[in-house]
Structure 1
């Protein structure tokens, strides 16, 4: 069964059209109404979709989690996620499905940047590229658009991926889980429209929040470069400063207490980072062995 899943929040103006177009390419459409204050849920039902409603707004990731759970309950062979704000064109759904089936991959991402013709606003493009570069560091593959919500998942991917992030960083979390599970991935170029962009979030703090969450996931997967290397550098720096303090004190009997405190602080922080790296690395190794 081909299932289209749509996370939606206050999208009464456009949701009906998205559902009707999506039904042309799917056996069923499920909408997760994430606590909308308008008629999103009502219009979605009238347009032919099954609606799962959150009592209050929980975030984009929470809607994606609900939709993954729904896809597993429906025993779907293919799940397509498409945003409910009208930015994605449902008529491009066959492109993702055909790529998934013809190339026998587990996940297909619709990328705004793959063909180099994106009309994405400059500030948004720069932010997405920074987040994507960070995400690529943690994955075993490289993508051009880590934040695209227009994706197709195979049955294997649906069963394997269990997101936990309730915010926008869920897109990156899913990428890292695709990598961790050894699932195959492909990208296809898509067009996108920002004419119905109704986001009320300030792009700067929003982008920083997504980047920080991305770094959190990657730091757990790669604790040695994230914690171990900086920790070792701080331990070495603290040791050098401590040696210099002793050298000055023994030869000149001058106690540079500021240098001493700095040396102790650097050494302690470095040690904590190194211990953190070892613990996380050990936990990650155990988890991989169990899987």
Structure 2
């Protein structure tokens, strides 16, 4: 959403490396969609603002329809480095279902405290919970396009718990991330949004901490 200052650079670099790029324009009010198309991306335009996770899910669903083996999600603001993509792909090739590009040096002290609290409550063995730089394989994609995943607000704690509880193998690889140079966070844009995120993720951490039966759940998704 409103990433016209960075989207062209991000997409051009990916296209040069022969990646197929899908951009979900979350009802932006600037030139993001037009620039993305010009640079060679497939652009999906939301008719209203759906938020970060549901927009990401829309892109994953489109890739699922294209029968993609792997989907990698990344931010349009230039924080993520496409030079780290091969490292993530290598981890997937070694048997990971989900690969997270992890940069634990970023973020405020408060964010790190929240990460530790959530991990204590839910037992996730993931250090960078809020990283949107992720690789999903076919099985993970199948889970993320489900109606159950649509009910979640964010792609961090809830999605990770869903994938963990279905026994998918989640690994982290270290990456470097740039500081945001323009725009604001889609989650931490005000104190109200921060408190809502903390309450929502804390509740999920408590209620979703126990594993579910993987194959019964996947069978429901398929039907």
| TM-score range normalised by the length of the shorter chain | 0.7 to 0.9
Q: Which has the higher contact order (CA 8 A, sep 6+)?
A: 2
TM-score (norm 1): 0.66
Structure 2 residue aligned with 1:144: 127
| CA distance in structure 2 between the aligned counterparts of 1:150 and 1:95, rounded to whole angstroms | 12
Determine if contact 2:132/2:155 at 8 Å carries over to the other structure.
no
Which of 207, 217, 220 lines up with 1:220 in the alignment? Answer: 207
Q: 1:218 to 1:22 in 2, by over 3 A?
A: same
User: Does 2:170 match 1:179?
Assistant: no
Q: 1:111 to 1:146 in 2, by over 3 A?
A: same
1:116-174 CA deviation, whole Å, 9 max, x = no partner?
xx2x3xxx33233233224424555411110000011111211123422564x322211
Shift of 1:195: 4.3
1:72-116 CA deviation, whole Å, 9 max, x = no partner?
111111110000111111222111111111x21101101111xxx
| CA distance in structure 2 between the aligned counterparts of 1:15 and 1:26, rounded to whole angstroms | 17
Determine if contact 2:25/2:32 at 8 Å carries over to the other structure.
yes
Structure 2 residue aligned with 1:127: 110
1:176 partner SS? helix
| CA distance in structure 2 between the aligned counterparts of 1:63 and 1:194, rounded to whole angstroms | 22
| CA distance in structure 2 between the aligned counterparts of 1:141 and 1:218, rounded to whole angstroms | 9
Structure 2 residue aligned with 1:154: 137
Shift of 1:220: 2.3
Q: 1:289 to 1:193 in 2, by over 3 A?
A: closer
Determine if contact 2:99/2:171 at 8 Å carries over to the other structure.
yes
Which of 194, 197, 201 lines up with 1:210 in the alignment? Answer: 197
Q: Which has a greater percent of helix?
A: 1
Over the residues paired in the alignment, what is the CA RMSD in angstroms?
Answer: 2.3
| CA distance in structure 2 between the aligned counterparts of 1:178 and 1:140, rounded to whole angstroms | 13
Shift of 1:57: 1.7
Structure 2 residue aligned with 1:63: 55
2:136 partner SS? strand
| CA distance in structure 1 between the aligned counterparts of 2:88 and 2:150, rounded to whole angstroms | 25
User: Does 2:98 match 1:111?
Assistant: no
Q: Which entry has the higher C-alpha Rg, 1 or 2? A: 1
| CA distance in structure 1 between the aligned counterparts of 2:114 and 2:160, rounded to whole angstroms | 12
Structure 1 residue aligned with 2:221: none
Structure 2 residue aligned with 1:3: none
Structure 2 residue aligned with 1:281: none
Unaligned residue ranges in structure 2 (runs of 5+) = 218-223
Determine if contact 1:10/1:36 at 8 Å carries over to the other structure.
yes
2:21 partner SS? strand
Q: 1:288 to 1:188 in 2, by over 3 A?
A: closer
| CA distance in structure 2 between the aligned counterparts of 1:288 and 1:158, rounded to whole angstroms | 15
